[in-house]
Every structure is written in structure tokens, then in C-alpha cells.
Structure 1
Amino acid sequence: MQDTDISVKLERGTFLFTLVAVSVAFALLLKPFFAPIFWACAIGVIFYPFQKRLLGKWPHRRNLVSLCTLILCVVLVVIPVLVVASSFVTEGVSLFQKVQSGELNLADYVDRIKQAFPWLQSLAERFDIDLERIKSQTVEAFTGAGQFLAKRALAVGQNTFQFFLNLGLMLYLAFFLIRDGDAMVNMLIRALPLGDEREKLLFAKFAEVTRATIKGNLLVAATQGALGGLIFWWLGIPGALLWGVVMAVLSLIPAVGAGLIWLPVSLYLYAVGDVLNATILVLFGVFVIGLVDNILRPILVGRDTKLPDYVVLFSTLGGLAMFGITGFALGPLLAALFVAFWGIFIREFNEGESPAALLEQQGSSEEPSGSEAS
């Protein structure tokens, strides 16, 4: 009898070890497609409410509902992003070529700011700051950014097939995640050994945070970029579309974001004596662009993720540093899951509350839909 127990334990241990090894190998196999897989999951989460509404009308037409949802995603998100990205790369390369040809002298712009604000020199000397070094680093940074952009534009042109392959894989996977999300999540709930109630709570948190961070941050970024590009165009600042897209990308960083662009530009306008336009830009940046970040982001991101603003800031910065542009969603998502895991641990093991009670407290007593977590 004892030999039988040992044999059973050995078989189970060997099976579990093999299961983990195969799972790790499969994860490594999918690693090159991490970005398309993640964004396919995000599409399934974000467009779930629309899909659910269509399913209410056509309950037995899941293929048609999934296709309609995917078409809506392409029209509202994919096509506009491709158009803006193409225009951004075109203007960026054009600006870089002007810098390379000497038509635009970045060092001259920095010198004008120093001449217009002589107190900067004395202030820098008091704190032992080398303004010449800062000037050279600024010029190098802008030149390096231009070179990077030009290289990326060339790489995109050379790897057009790979880009559209990833885009096609993302949309292809999104179709099945939208259509079969319920079954996939139910399978995961049955397979994972965390306890069904805990898994439902974590899947609900995953869906909630993914939807909040992506929709909220993208809406804030698009709004700030559009407002920044509009005021640059109205003031006659060259490359309004380029700087608008740059402000949109930088606005993914909470608190500072778009100010990294409009503030130096306003200082330059002051330096060249264009006081009126500089003042307009500062007032617009502080009271319009800045308020978008201070008002919309806590409402759209912080409230739905139930994370403090400082956690959203640091998790976003960490996500961008670790995962690139995808990190603006992954960072807060990992932070929210971290908080959720510790919340479950504290309430279950220290206070004795069940996961079902946690679901009820968060207004998620009903089982989360599979598409929400897909």
C-alpha cells in the first residue's frame, strides 16, 4: 500500500513538473508575439460592452457579433492610429532632415533663451550648473531622437510585412477572444489552483484595470495631443501635427507629460520677444492642457483602477521603462493585481473574509464575463 502511495506521488510530481516545463516552453514560444497577444486581449476587454449589446440582439450569431465588434475596433482605433502615426513619422523625418542640413540650428535656439534670461546664468553658477553642457546635451538629445525616428521610419519601411503580419495576428486573435472569451475564462478558472472565487475576483480586476488604463490614458493622451497641436497650429508654430503627437505620447506619463513640450516652446517664444504668443501658450498649457490631465486622468484611470495617483504615476513610468509603449497599460495593471493579491491575503488570512465577500464589496458578486478577462 505504501509503495502504491509513493508511486502515485511520484507520477503526480513528474506530471506537474512536465506540465510546468511544457507551459514555460510554450510561453517562450509565444514571446515574440507578446505585443499582438496583449493588444488582442485589450481589444476583447475594451469592446466587450458593445459585443454584449449585440449578443442581446443576436444571441445565436456569435461569429457575426465578433466580426461587427472587430470592424468597429478597426474603424475607431486602428485606422486613425495608423494615419496619425504615418503623418507623425513623415513630419519627424522632415524636421530631422532640416536639422541635418543646418536649416534649423538647435544650439542657436538654446543660446537665444540664455540671452533672453541672463539671470539663468547667475543662477546656474550659484548652483554649479554647467549651462554649456546642458545645451550640448539638449542638442544631442534632439539629434539622437531625430536619428532614432529616421531609423525607425526606415525600419518600418523595410519591415512592412512584419508590421502588418503582427497587426493581422492581433486582429485574428481578437476575433476569437471576443467570440470564445467566456469558454476560455471558464477553462482557466477550472485549471488554475487558486480557488474559483479568487480567480473570479482577479479576472474581474484584470478586466476593470485594463479597460480603465487603456481607455482612460488613450483618451487623455488624444485630448492633450489634439489641444497641444491645435494651439501650436493657431500660434503658427511649425510642425504642429508632429508636436501634437509627441505631446500625446508624453502625456501617457502622468503629471509632467505634455508640459515637456509646450513649456520649452513658450520659453523660446519669450526669448525671441514674442511675449503675446508665449503668454497665450503658457496660459493654455496650464489651464487647458494641464487641467485635462488633472481632472480627466483621476476620473478615468485612478477611480476605476482604485489606485492612488502616485501609484498610477510610478507604475506607468516603470511599465514604460520595462515594456516600452505597451507598459502604459501593463504597469498599472501589474500594480492593481499586486494590490488585489495582497488585499485577498490580508482579508482572508488575517480577517477571515471569503473571496465571495470581496466580490460583493466590489460590486462584482456576479460571475465576470469571459470576454471581460479575455
Structure 2
Amino acid sequence: MRESLERRSFLLTLILVSIAFAWVLIPFWGAIFWACVVTVIFYPLQQKLKKTFGDKPNRAALVTLLIALVIVVIPALGISYSFVQEGVSFYQRLDEGKINPGKLFDDIQKAFPVISDLLAQFDIKASDVREKISSGAVSGSKFLAEEALSIGQNTFSFIISLSLMIYLTFFLLRDGHLLIDLLVKALPLGDERERKLFTKFAEVTRATVKGNIVVAIVQGTLGGIIFALLGIPGALLWGVVMAFLSLIPAVGASLVWLPVSIYLYATGNWIAGTILVAYGAIVIGLADNVLRPVLVGRDTKLPDYLVLFSTLGGLSLFGITGFVLGPLVAALFLVFWDIFMNEFNSVS
């Protein structure tokens, strides 16, 4: 009896201490998560370098970390900075009246009278729509400008988080296999099941991040190039916006190029509008329809519709981190049920 009481007390204390430790780490969960993501992506490279450097794991981990910084971290910081700068510039032009969203809506309405008939059919006033579009554009661009200012004011905090992520990534690259072995030994789920879950975590994380980043870069670059060639203002801004929106499967980049093509038609630029529609549907769309299933769906072994819904749900709940967390949760959900059906149902 006493031994049972002591065991239960110890387990309860263990749970409380673990919860308290997790609570302490909450302010740094973003840095910890992305350190794990970078480690998972570049761990195969680290293993190859480890063979090259022999019994010098510190050197292999350091070289791998430097490669990760050059390939991923520095370009991501550069793109984010460009996005913020272009966003602030867009807000300034909007605030100064150089861009008038209400006039854009009027031009589209005149070019496509069916819009007026459709609004009248649903008893919607065009003036209300115009006002909402104008206020929405101002609010959105103002939010972006405020976020840019907030980033500038919190530069020190951002640098600390980035430094912690880089610092932790080094040790995860060097000692990651030891941590996995320790977790397998500690968790009471069964060693074989735990290794299966860790393997799935690595597969989904690697495929999701690499696949989505490649698709985002390709679609953003293609979109920015065609915008620049057609002389559309803010080509860099819209290219980066398309890159971010491409994280949403199937519809992402079209949320930018399709409305712009409609406006080109509305203002009489039929040739430019047709070129943009054809280019967006065939070239930009092809990058999503071909690359994403190959890079994401195949490696994660998730159906396309599950990738779509889990990505959207992850983005809505966790922000930018959700494009990894969403498919990861979906994949782990399927693995757990697969284990349950294969092991527990067969036993019963």
C-alpha cells in the first residue's frame, strides 16, 4: 500500500513539475519549435558531414548550422524586411490618396455592369461595398504599417529569440539522436510506437517545410516577374504577398493575380489582363498543382484535401507556424489511429 501511494505521489509530482517546466518555456516556444524544424530539415546533411569530420561532432553541427543560416534564415529575413518596407510604402501611397480603392471599385463596376445587377438582386448598395473596400484597404495597410513599427520597436526581443533558436539548433544537431533515445526510454508508449511517431514527425516536418517553401518561392518569384513585366506597381510587394498566400494550397496566389487581372480588364487593358490570367492559371497554378503534391503530399502520405484543410486550420489557429503544425497534427492523428487499428483491434 505504501509503495503504491509513493508511486502515485511521485507520478503526480512528475506531471506537475513537467507542466511547470513547459509553462516556463512558453515565452520561447516559437524559437524552440523552429529550432526543431531547422534541425529536422538539415539533420541528414549533418549526418553526412559527421562522417566527413569523423570524431568532431561540434564541427559537423557548426558547419550544418552555417549552411542552414545561408539557405533558410538569412533569405527569410531579407524577404520579410522587403515585405515590410513595401507594405509601409503602400500604406503611405494609400494615405496620401495616390491609390484610391473606391475608384478602383467604380472602374470595375462600370466595366462589368453585371456586378451592379448582382448587387441589386441581393439588395446590396454599391456605395456600401465601395465604403467597405476603402475602409478595409486602409485598415489592412495601417495594420501592416503598425506591425512594421512594432517589429522595429521589438527588435531586441526578436534578436534574442533568433539567437536562442540558432543556439538551440546547434545542440539539437549535435545531440539530437541522444535526445530521441532519451525520449524513447522515458515515454511509456512502447519503444516501437514512439520511434514510428518520431519518424513520422520528421517526415511530415521536412516535407511540409521544404515543399511549401519551394512552392512559395517559385510562385512568389513567378508572380513578381509577371507583375514587373506588365508594369504593375509594387511588383516586389505583390510577389512577396503571393509567396505568403501560396502557403494556402489551391487558391493562395490567385487571391492576388485574379483581382488584378479583373482590374486590368475593367480599365481597358485587355491584352495585359489576358496575359495575366493565362500566366496565372497555367504557369503560377502549375507550380502549385505539380510541385505541392510531389513535395508535400507524397512524402507526408496525406491526401490533398487533408493537406488543404489541415493547413488552413493550422494557419488560422497558430499563424505562420500553422502551415507546419496543421499537417503535422493531421499526420500524427492518422498514425495514432493506424496503430490503434492494427494493434488494439487485432487483440480484441
Q: What's the CA shift string for 1:43-100, capped at 9, x where partnerless?
A: 1100012111111212211000000000001111111111111111111101101111
- Of stretches 60-69 and 76-85 in structure 1, the one that deviates more from structure 2 is 76-85
Query: CA separation of 1:307/1:130 partners in 2, compared to 1, >3 Å: closer, same or farther?
Result: farther
Q: How many angstroms apart in 1 are the aligned matches of 2:21 and 2:154? A: 26
Corresponding residue to 1:44 among 24, 28, 39: 39
Q: How many angstroms apart in 2 are the aligned matches of 1:248 and 1:270? A: 24
User: How big is the shift at 1:129?
Assistant: 4.4
Q: What's the CA shift string for 1:209-256, capped at 9, x where partnerless?
A: 000111101111111011001100111101001000000001100111
User: How big is the shift at 1:125?
Assistant: 2.4
- Of stretches 172-181 and 51-60 in structure 1, the one that deviates more from structure 2 is 51-60
Corresponding residue to 1:87 among 82, 85, 98: 82
SS of aligned partner of 1:103: coil
Corresponding residue to 1:273 among 244, 264, 268: 268
SS of aligned partner of 1:351: helix
Corresponding residue to 1:22 among 5, 17, 20: 17
Matched, 1:136 2:134: no
Q: How many angstroms apart in 1 are the aligned matches of 2:139 and 2:268? A: 29
Number of aligned positions between the proteins: 348
Aligned to 2:116: 121
Matched, 1:325 2:320: yes
User: How big is the shift at 1:101?
Assistant: 1.1
Q: What residue ranges of structure 1 are gaps of 5+ in the alignment?
A: 1-5, 354-374
Q: What's the CA shift string for 1:237-291, capped at 9, x where partnerless?
A: 0100100000000110011100000000000000110111110000000001111
Aligned to 1:237: 232
Aligned to 1:63: 58
Matched, 1:253 2:248: yes
Matched, 1:341 2:347: no
TM-score by length of 2: 0.98
Q: How many angstroms apart in 2 are the aligned matches of 1:351 and 1:204? A: 24
- Of stretches 344-353 and 250-259 in structure 1, the one that deviates more from structure 2 is 344-353
Aligned to 1:293: 288
SS of aligned partner of 1:47: helix
Aligned to 1:183: 178
Query: CA separation of 1:24/1:224 partners in 2, compared to 1, >3 Å: closer, same or farther?
Result: same
Contact conserved, 2:100 with 2:134, CA < 8 A, in 1?
no
- Of stretches 125-134 and 66-75 in structure 1, the one that deviates more from structure 2 is 125-134
Q: How many angstroms apart in 2 are the aligned matches of 1:164 and 1:221? A: 25
SS of aligned partner of 1:254: coil
Matched, 1:162 2:157: yes
Q: How many angstroms apart in 2 are the aligned matches of 1:142 and 1:220? A: 27
Q: What's the CA shift string for 1:171-224, capped at 9, x where partnerless?
A: 000000000001000000000000000001000000000001111011111110
Q: What's the CA shift string for 1:323-343, capped at 9, x where partnerless?
A: 110000000000100110011
Corresponding residue to 1:283 among 259, 278, 302: 278
Q: How many angstroms apart in 2 are the aligned matches of 1:13 and 1:133? A: 64
Query: CA separation of 1:132/1:314 partners in 2, compared to 1, >3 Å: closer, same or farther?
Result: farther
TM-score by length of 1: 0.91
Aligned to 2:97: 102
Q: What residue ranges of structure 2 are gaps of 5+ in the alignment?
A: none
Corresponding residue to 1:148 among 128, 143, 146: 143
Q: What is the percentage of aligned positions where both structures have the same residue?
A: 57
Matched, 1:173 2:173: no
Higher relative contact order (CA 8 A, sep 6+): 1
Q: How many angstroms apart in 2 are the aligned matches of 1:352 and 1:57? A: 47
Q: How many angstroms apart in 1 are the aligned matches of 2:186 and 2:133? A: 53
